[in-house]
Amino acid sequence: MVHRLGVFGLYAAVALLSGCASYRPLPLPQRANLASDVTALRVELPAGTGTTVRKIDVTEPLSIEEISFLAILNNPDLTSERGERSVAAAALLQASLLPNPSATLGLGVLVGGPGTTTSYAASLSEDIAAIVTYRARERSAEAHLAAVDADLLWQEWQVAQKTRLLAFDLYWAGQSIALDVKEEKLLSDELANVKAATAAGNLDLAALSPLLGAKAASDQALGADRLDELRNWQALNALLGVTPEVRFAIAPPDLAPMPADIDALIAGLPDHRPDLVALQMGYRSSDETVRAAILGQFPAFTLGGSYSQDNSGVSAVGPAVTFELPIFNRNQGQIAAARATRLLLHEQYQSRLDSAASTVRALVALTDRLEADLVAAREAARSAQSLLETARAAYAQGNLDQRSFTEYETTVLQREREAIALERGLGEDRITLIVELGLGLPQARITAPDQETDR
């Protein structure tokens, strides 16, 4: 019998070891992994993303939508998604496993006394309390994994939103800088003419003062705009995972129209916004944790059976039960902690929902105001352009001096710059509004995690 027990134990050990995981090293990278050109980026969107775009042509001017997808596919921060999701998936795997049964083997070799044979004992038991809480723990882990997926989707949305805003700003920054350059050239030409006239004694030195001030202000504006453009390019390249000096053409923005029924969209925020879905799943996970904690009041209970033989050859078989007496600890601490966590998530969800609805309504009011201001700014630009044409005719006939004509030209540029600034601000608010409403981006992650987790 002893021999049979030994053989059985050997076979069991071999079977268990054959299913064990093995260690493989995963060395850290030794250098940065930034692309030196947009052509080196991932450009193919996985199937099933809910968008008609499948491959982005980076050799053509890129729309802000295409740039946002490139960021989702290549953003360095989003590459950690696989690790975050793997941790949650591992937690679900752990929650889905029942505890192993416990086996006990004992051997008493006879060395003296009236006995006639070696004694031995064997028992097998299982933790019943863990089975009682099993389903609640598994549902909690499932909800947590769903929360992680939704939160990762929201991270993708945030990266896409930042990218769209930066690309939009860069496009209009280019338009504004072009006006700055044009104004600077006008003022430089006028300043050169006035200096020549002053040197010839045809103008007083006082005529230079306003031009020098205007030229200094123009130079300062141009320098500030170029510095802002450089910073935006660096921020955009960081989101795309390319080196800071990379440049590419940005197509003129084509924004989606304003949504019609804002009230209905606000009511649907819990279904559209990934961050709200993540909080819902987190709350559901916490609720199941409360349920598991309450079920954990069931005292630790182990049920099994045993077989034994004493030194005289008498054999016995029977059940074995082990349980704790719930006198001091009835799992009240874990129940209180789980309920407090659930309440915290409940309040956080309400706060996030209130903030989202408030932000949407504020953005709607702001875009309405900016649209009205943009109409007025465009009308002012058209009026300034009309006056410039009249001034040009007067200048050609010798009825207007060059300094006054230059002022008409710079006024047109200023009006156009004002219109560009309003159009830029309006576009930024509309991009933000669409994202705040949970629209305009895929409802499923397009950087699906690698299924390989054994590393």
In this prediction, residue 53 carries a pLDDT of: 52
Q: pLDDT grade, residue 303 (50/70/90)?
A: confident
d(CA 98, CA 276): 32
Which has more confidence, 453 or 174? 174
Which pairs count as long-range contacts for 409-416, CB under 8 Å and 24+ apart, including other chains?
409/186, 410/183, 410/186, 410/187, 410/214, 411/384, 411/387, 412/381, 412/384, 412/385, 412/388, 413/179, 413/182, 413/183, 413/186, 414/183, 415/377, 415/380, 415/381, 415/383, 415/384, 415/385, 416/179, 416/381
Min mean pLDDT across 28-32, 262-266, 278-282 is at: 28-32
Min mean pLDDT across 215-224, 284-293, 306-315 is at: 306-315
In this prediction, residue 380 carries a pLDDT of: 95
Q: Is the pLDDT of residue 80 over 80?
A: no
pLDDT digit string, tens, across residues 341-355: 999 999 999 999 999
Q: Is the pLDDT of residue 83 over 60?
A: yes
Q: Which residue has the tokens 């053989």?
A: 7
pLDDT (mean) for 275-281: 93
Nearest to 142, CA basis, from 99, 100, 94: 94
Min mean pLDDT across 90-99, 147-156, 200-209, 250-259 is at: 200-209
In this prediction, residue 451 carries a pLDDT of: 43
